Amino acid sequence: MSAHAVHAPTGHRVAWPLVLRVAWKNVRLRYKSSLLGFAWTLLNPVLYLAIFLFIFSRAFGQVDNYPVFALTGLILWTFFATTSAHVLGALVENAHVLRSLAVPPLVFPLAQLFAGLINLLFSLIPFALLLAAFGWRPQPVHLLALPALALFAVFVFGLSLALCTLNVYFRDIGLLWNALLPALFYITPIAYPPDLVPADLRWVAGLDPLYWYIDLFRTIVYHGQLPDAGRMALVTVLSAAALAMGMVVYGSLRRGLVANY
Amino acid sequence: MRTEPMIEVRGLQADYHVQRHGYRSIKEYLVSFGGKRLLERRRVIDGVDLDIAAGECFGIVGRNGSGKSTLLRVLAGIVEPAAGSVVVRGRVAPMLALGVGLEPELDGIENARLCAALMGGDRHAMRRTVEHVRAFAGLAEEDLHMPVKRYSTGMMARLGFAIATTDDPEVLLIDEVLAVGDAAFQLKCYDRIAELKQKGGTVVFVSHALGEVQRLCDRAGCMEGGRLLKVGGTHEVGVFYHGLLGIPVGE
């Protein structure tokens, strides 16, 4: 029989099998009562793409193969918008569990991140088929998209974990995020090419971290080029900084969580 | 024979960190770059000493907000002590609220597996939990394959109690959740609690129903304002509690 001092009980050790189990449950529940189920992961960006094609393809005629350009942006955007929103709500939505079982709270935001990743990985296959329909052909360099996506996932998690923790104390955060997401969508060059931004405003566009991830992803998947080292370094630093910020906010407010869910 | 107590609480203090209300506090916090406190400490447990032996059932009574549930949360490892020490010598199964960890869209069996995982169980523990639910909860196989959102409160209590008592937990923490089951299931729970005690398990039982406490518990304590004001026999503590509430003794 093990004696344990209940000193740092809600511990920092996160059990990974548990995270994956909860993540898988989240994936299943997300589409459980919908007719089209998993297809929504794909339908959502495709609907966006249809709108883009209808409205923008003439306007941005100078973009070579606009559907592939738009889709490469939309894949990242869809992951960002859905995963950040799900991670943001993870602590508040599991309040009843966290108040009654000694589960490390971090399990729930992590599980939402992994649910988002599982969704993304599944959707890459139909996305690849769709891209192929628009004339895109896979090349070895495209495999670099996977580490790029991993870096993006770290960034999304760090940012959302900070928001998720603050949201426990101030529910305004979740509401604010809902309002900010559409604004971010238009600020980030997803539907339009980045060189459309007037030269004197480009530095503003560069302040948007999403720009750098989408740019990296497009360099690899749309242009089929190797990303240069400087860009890689910048994106890696952004991801590390976001993760550090998330962990610091979570770590400093963790003790107060249980009274405020 | 074990000599050291199963649960040992010394000088325990526990706080809740509550946000200071109002726009001003957020502004102060942001302007000071986190230097000013955003959260205010509120002491919920203020100096509790308690030993509970193996094989003992200990009842806790007290007014709403006196710290009973928080004490259970500290024992369960959900709330960290601010000061003092807590030692629990055994595997803890908390039953602190009804339907905890149950996912409304999943069925009884899937929920049993999920809860077992949330309580820290591995693949084998998950299988044993499902077996125990089948054997103990008294739910029809058809009900076990129905989403728990369609369960009645009593059915949720059955599922929850069956999940929590899998693998003969050494420390069972119960926070007023048995009252919702029907009489037959309550009796079954009392039998199961007696069985766990016989095997050397410890039960901590929070309830407002003095009758239940006197029936189940060997000893009891009365909490008030975050302190254990009285510890002793269940009758003695019951009389004390009624005195505190201003209810004439003998009722």
Q: What is the ipTM of this complex?
A: 0.86
Structural domain harbouring A240: 20-259
Query: Cα separation of A80 and A182, whole Å?
Result: 12
Residues of chain B with pLDDT under 70: 1-2, 20-38, 249-251
Within an 8 Å CB–CB cutoff, is residue A260 touching chain B?
yes
- Exposed, middle or buried: residue A71 (CB in 10 Å: 0-12, 13-18, 19+)? buried
CB-based contact B117 A17, cutoff 8 Å: yes
- Kindly state whether residue A9 falls inside one of the protein's structural domains: no
- Kindly state whether residue A1 falls inside one of the protein's structural domains: no
Spatial CB neighbours of B18, under 8 Å, sequence gap ≥ 6:
A256, A259, A260, B39, B40, B41, B42
Say how many C-beta atoms besides its own lie within 10 A of residue B144's C-beta. Answer: 20
- Kindly state whether residue A5 falls inside one of the protein's structural domains: no
Q: Which two tokens stand for residue B207?
A: 């309830």
Sheet holding B227-232, edge to edge: B92-95, B171-175, B202-206, B57-62, B219-224, B227-232
- Kindly state whether residue A145 falls inside one of the protein's structural domains: yes
**If you average pLDDT over every residue of chain A, what do you get?**
88
Of the pLDDT bands very low, low, confident and very high (cuts 50, 70, 90), residue A8 is very low
Q: What is the pLDDT of residue A10?
A: 43
Q: Report the domain count for chain A.
A: 1
Query: Cα separation of B59 and B62, whole Å?
Result: 10
Q: Which two tokens stand for residue B243?
A: 């005195």
Closest in B34, B86, B118 to A97, CB measured? B118
Taking only the tens place, the pLDDT of each residue in A139-148 is 999 999 999 9
The shortest C-alpha distance from A42 to chain B (Å) reads 23
Contacts of B125 in chain A (CB under 8 A): none
Taking only the tens place, the pLDDT of each residue in A175-187 is 999 999 999 999 9
Within an 8 Å CB–CB cutoff, is residue A259 touching chain B?
yes
Contacts of B39 in chain A (CB under 8 A): 169, 253, 256
Higher-confidence residue of A4 and A91: namely A91
- Kindly list the residues of chain B whose beta carbon comes within 8 Å of any beta carbon in chain A: 16-19, 26, 34, 38-39, 42, 73-81, 85-92, 94, 96-97, 99-101, 103, 105-106, 114, 117-120, 122, 170
Say how many C-beta atoms besides its own lie within 10 A of residue B134's C-beta. Answer: 16
